[in-house]
């Protein structure tokens, strides 16, 4: 069985936590950060299982930028930094 390595972004809105995997464009939520991450793991597992059933798993992973390396699916592009960017919006 191969493993997949992903990134998880966590943010909160209105008291709920959202966990998002940008590589696979899959998100989930929960009442805590840990619950949101746990639910995201389940959502990703379901996405992978369903695309496998449809016979489109390899295409789905390739479109997301994954390659197989030593029995691990790795993404070729890596997020190396996050920061806030302030941009003036003159129309507001």
Neighbours of 25 (CB within 10 A): 10
pLDDT in tens, 46-84: 999 999 999 999 899 988 888 877 777 777 777 778 788
Compute the distance between CA of residue 47 and CA of residue 43 in angstroms, rounded to an integer: 6
**Beta partners for residue 66, in sequence order:** 75
Q: 71: which DSSP letter?
A: T
The model's pTM is 0.80
Confidence label for 9 from pLDDT (cuts 50, 70 and 90): very high
Whether pLDDT at 33 is above 90: yes
Q: Which residue has the tokens 């943010």?
A: 11
Domain positions in the chain: 3-75
CATH code assigned to 3-75: 3.30.160
């Amino acid at each position: 069985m191969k493993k997949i390595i992903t990134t998880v972004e966590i943010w909160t809105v209105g008291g709920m936590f959202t966990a998002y995997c940008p590589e696979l464009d899959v998100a989930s939520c929960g009442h805590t950060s840990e619950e949101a991450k746990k639910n995201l793991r389940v959502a990703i597992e379901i996405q992978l299982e369903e695309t496998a059933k449809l016979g489109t798993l390899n295409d789905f992973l390739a479109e997301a930028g994954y390659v197989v390396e030593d029995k691990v699916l790795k993404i070729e592009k890596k997020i190396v930094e996050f920061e806030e960017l302030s941009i003036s919006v003159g129309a507001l």
